[in-house]
Structure 1
């Protein structure tokens, strides 16, 4: 499996969580579309089919990358 670049993945996770909290102030329809697009990209980037699994895998991947960088 290809691994996404950690900077890209971190931004993707942050954008998804911000959209969940509606920090971008989008209207309901635009927000739903943004969430769908981000969830899809997270799933593709992590090789999953469920956004919860994608977030979990992204967090584990980013954690391991941070540990590796600190070594």
Structure 2
């Protein structure tokens, strides 16, 4: 399966977290979080959730976030392994 570039995924995760925080703000009483939010913010959140799911080949936001973070971490770990400047055994 094709996976989005880690930078794209990182940006989507950050955007999701920011929009989710805006929607959740002021709704600590357990009421419907999205109901009082600006419709534009709600739509941006829905669009970001959809894009994350499509980009990770998942159907639910929890699975999409987990897959995105796993892919970002895997690529980051591989980049560290491939960087000869970080190889302390070469000295």
TM-score by length of 1: 0.90
Post-superposition CA distance 1:49-69 (Å, at most 9, x none): 001100011011111011000
Post-superposition CA distance 1:13-60 (Å, at most 9, x none): 10110111119xxx5211110110000000000000001100011011
Pair member with larger Rg: 2
Q: How many residues of Structure 1 are paired with residues of Structure 2 in the alignment?
A: 68
Q: Is residue 64 from structure 1 mapped to residue 74 from structure 2 by the alignment?
A: yes
- The structure richer in helix per residue is 1
Q: Is residue 9 from structure 1 mapped to residue 19 from structure 2 by the alignment?
A: no
Whole-angstrom CA distance in 1 between matches of 2:74 and 2:59: 22
Question: What are structure 1's unaligned runs of at least 5 residues?
Answer: none
TM-score by length of 2: 0.71
Whole-angstrom CA distance in 2 between matches of 1:9 and 1:57: 10
List structure 1 segments (4+ residues) > 2 angstroms apart after TM superposition: none
Whole-angstrom CA distance in 2 between matches of 1:18 and 1:31: 10
DSSP 3-state at the match of 1:4: coil
